[in-house]
A and B are shown apart, each in its own frame.
Chain A
């Protein structure tokens, strides 16, 4: 069962563009910005230098029961919503729990739970701290809750590699299937940290855009005037299956995860390194047994930071040559641990629907930009085609996933 082909049979998300895959994908193809001014009282109270973000389009409390919202951190709530959609989209496979795995990554985990519990402790004392605080804040909480929901007993894992977490989860899930540990794996990433503390901290790094007067144009990958990323939140989850298993049960196949490449920079804790990124991309190609000529599209990490975008674009150009590049964070903002999973969904849909999503706000391209960036939906060719999805994280984590048509 080793070297099994891994297919994608289910997709789920709740994102700044929509509460499900259909709405999110339609909004992405329409070039809809997901960022807006934050209306919370804490923005004023802490005099935050950045006063906007890309919050989820549908509040989880509108979808979940009251006990679910009380027992799960916001990040796990988003993961659960995405996982339920993905599972239903896969046709609720009647798989033996011992052959079903879950891998859901996150960058910061249950940040809201941690911060609220700390506030409670300081203001009201230890007896008022919720008994479920630790199980809610731990970074494996989302994966654990989803495994309980689905009865997954082949292994439940949480990849933690900052903004590469969601993509690393899918790479790990692919490996679980390829090595025979599972027939079906529910995999993805989640993040919910639009909270004063991370905003203050990211702002001190000068990592965030400060376009407070124009949130909808703040995330502008590759634009000469880009000034940082826009904090987003949300989750993306996919259902992966061993191809023979999926075919045998008559599942509809959206696409396949043909290869994964993972590398680490062992350099700076925060600065990206295009050499490490290029290694991950080459490894993904090798893993898939494909050549650069097979790849027609790349969903770039492209966070809209001055330092990151061009280095990655150069790496893409050096490895793949001419491909149509999309920077979907221009619309969704940066979902951190959720980003790689949502962007894998975009990559699968781009190949399935033969259209690369647009990169909005790219009005003055950086003169150093070496690749062809789609600023409007761009048709992709017929036939068997492949696309790359890049995700990189603080800590020097580089993950590239090679997606192909069904």
Chain B
């Protein structure tokens, strides 16, 4: 079962909210994880792990640095689904 990009965004927003306390509706496609959401590298690793569990995908450590915006993460996860 593949998740839609809408569902992935909502799921990511929930993960970010639980990890950082940021309101879920502040997690938008054009937001940068570091510059806009102030998420540090350790939190990012946790978010990535949670996202892997939630969407059943693998996000290689090398790939994480390319996930600059929330939209980057949504696209990567959507593409990585089997």
Q: Contacting chain A: which of B1-9, B13-21, B25-33, B70-78?
A: B13-21
For chain A, residues 186 to 235, give those with C-beta under 8 angstroms from any C-beta of chain B.
Answer: none
**Interface residue? B46 (CB, 8 A):** yes
In the complex, how many angstroms separate the beta carbon of A206 from the nearest chain B beta carbon? 41
Q: How large is the interface on A (under 10, 10 to 19, 20 to 34, 35 or more residues)?
A: 10 to 19
In the docked arrangement, what's the CA distance between A66 and B19, Å?
7
Contacts of B46 in A (CB 8 A): 70, 130-132
For chain A, residues 108 to 131, give those with C-beta under 8 angstroms from any C-beta of chain B.
Answer: 127-128, 130-131
Contacts of A70 in B (CB 8 A): 18-19, 46
Question: C-beta contact mask, A38-80 vs B, less than 8 Å → 1, else 0?
Answer: 0000000000000000000000000001111010000000000
Residue of A at shortest CB range from B20? Answer: A67
In the complex, how many angstroms separate the beta carbon of B57 from the nearest chain A beta carbon? 13
B17, B18, B45, B52: the one contacting A131 at CB < 8 Å is: B45
In the complex, how many angstroms separate the beta carbon of A31 from the nearest chain B beta carbon? 40
Please classify the interface of chain B as helix (H, G, I), strand (E, B), loop, or mixed, using the class held by over half of its residues: helix
In the docked arrangement, what's the CA distance between A61 and B45, Å?
23
Contacts of B52 in A (CB 8 A): 127
In the complex, how many angstroms separate the beta carbon of A378 from the nearest chain B beta carbon? 47
Contacts of A128 in B (CB 8 A): 49, 53
In the docked arrangement, what's the CA distance between A128 and B52, Å?
10
For chain B, residues 24 to 80, give those with C-beta under 8 angstroms from any C-beta of chain A.
Answer: 42-43, 45-46, 49, 52-53
How many positions in chain B have a CB within 8 Å of any CB in the partner chain? 12
Residue of A at shortest CB range from B42? Answer: A131
Contacts of A130 in B (CB 8 A): 46, 49
In the complex, how many angstroms separate the beta carbon of A297 from the nearest chain B beta carbon? 44
- A65 near B21 with CB under 8 A, answer yes
Contacts of A67 in B (CB 8 A): 18-21
In the docked arrangement, what's the CA distance between A90 and B80, Å?
54
B21, B42, B45: the one contacting A66 at CB < 8 Å is: B21
- B18 near A127 with CB under 8 A, answer no
In the docked arrangement, what's the CA distance between A226 and B43, Å?
48
In the complex, how many angstroms separate the beta carbon of A136 from the nearest chain B beta carbon? 11
Q: Could you jot down 20 A-B contacts, CB within 8 Å?
A: A65-B21, A66-B17, A66-B18, A66-B21, A67-B18, A67-B19, A67-B20, A67-B21, A68-B21, A70-B18, A70-B19, A127-B52, A128-B49, A128-B53, A130-B46, A130-B49, A131-B42, A131-B43, A131-B45, A131-B46
Not counting A66-B17, A70-B19, A131-B43, a sample of 16 additional A-B residue pairs whose C-beta atoms are within 8 angstroms of each other reads A65-B21, A66-B18, A66-B21, A67-B18, A67-B20, A67-B21, A68-B21, A70-B46, A127-B49, A127-B52, A128-B49, A128-B53, A130-B49, A131-B42, A131-B46, A132-B42
Residues of B within 8 A of A (CB): 17-21, 42-43, 45-46, 49, 52-53
Residues of A within 8 A of B (CB): 65-68, 70, 127-128, 130-132
Q: Which 4 pairs show the lowest CB-CB distances between chains A and B? A: A67-B21, A131-B45, A131-B42, A66-B18
